[in-house]
Homo-oligomer: A and B are copies of this chain.
Amino acid sequence: MEQIVLQSPFDMHLHLRDGEILESVAKFTAQSFSGALVMPNLNPPILNVEDALAYQKRILKACGDENFNPMMSLYLTEKLDKKELQKAKEKDILFIKLYPKGATTGSENGVSEILNTKILEILEIAQELGLILSIHGESNGFVLEREAEFHAVFAELAETFPRLKIIFEHLSDRRSIAVVEKYDNLYATLTLHHISLSLEDVIGGALNPHCFCKPILKTPKDKDALLQIALSAHKKFSFGSDSAPHLQSNKENAKGAAGIFTAPILLPALATLFETHKSLENLENFISGNAQKIYGIRATDKQVKLIKKPMTIPQVIEGIVPLYAGKTLAWSFG
């Protein structure tokens, strides 16, 4: 049977939440990936090193695999200071995450004026320490224009801190590609859902809450452009799933939570997508090689075998409706 072996895949943008949900979903990522960059937008958020390390312990316990590497991040607020950032560096917490206030799930504590003096001071320190700045780049404007309206902030930050690595997370708008390409210190992550779905999948037929996420899926042209970037394993882009486990009851019943759960299906779905577009040879760079270079992280000896055998995705996994529920992929775990 045809098979591929993926070396040390990384998921550079992941939501694991906490408590029961963490307990039930962490294993899916640990099975598929060497490591993952874990987002700090819990309720309450991860604001300091102590909380990040405690969360990391809970994650390791939940996934039951001590070789899995949960890369931790701190939620950027004006209260972060030099001492805490130095401590973060010492403890190998290398990421700080900037959420504009109100942009997405758990962003209530985010930054309202991004370029204010206090934040700029923190970023100056982060640059000196060699930390990496991860950004949910959206304005508070009309939902389809939010990412484009944020380009100026990326430009300003990239120019002000030329030695700070900045990540344009879950890039969703084709107009953003040129922004990433323009600045040497600007990189991006791409999700599975933004390279394989469009707004058509959310509102084109019956309303589909399970394809609703932020940044909102854009037009088919955006999807096509992002897919080409992924298929070519463009060196400034790495894979970050933005997998977000919301219970079925919080996605339906008019609660309307934003986020798509992809963790259990990512590698078979990516293999199916890349093979369909005759780009399977670029998959390993997209999910591993690029991340190693961009983030300066090391491959582990983890190998994930996929086999060319149909896999039908369950309607519900751990109380959560996954992406592609009920559909059949060409590849499955070996």
Contacts and interface: CB of A to CB of B under 8 A. Distances in A.
A203 B204 contact: no
A36 to B, nearest CB: 26
A198 B144 CA distance: 11
A252 interface: yes
A78 to B, nearest CB: 25
Given A143-B199, A219-B144, A207 B207 contact: yes
Interface string A207-233: 111101000100110000000000000
Contact of A252 (B202, B208, B220, B253): B253
A258 interface: yes
Contacts of A219: 142, 144
A203 B216 contact: yes
A144 B207 CA distance: 14
B142 A254 contact: no
A159 interface: no
Interface in A251-304: 251-258
17 contacts: A142-B198, A142-B200, A142-B204, A142-B220, A143-B199, A143-B200, A143-B203, A206-B257, A206-B258, A207-B209, A207-B257, A208-B254, A208-B256, A209-B209, A210-B254, A252-B252, A252-B253
Contacts of A321: 254
A207 B199 contact: no
A138 to B, nearest CB: 11
Given A142-B220, A219-B144, A256 B204 contact: no
A207 B209 CA distance: 7
Contacts of A142: 198-200, 204, 219-220
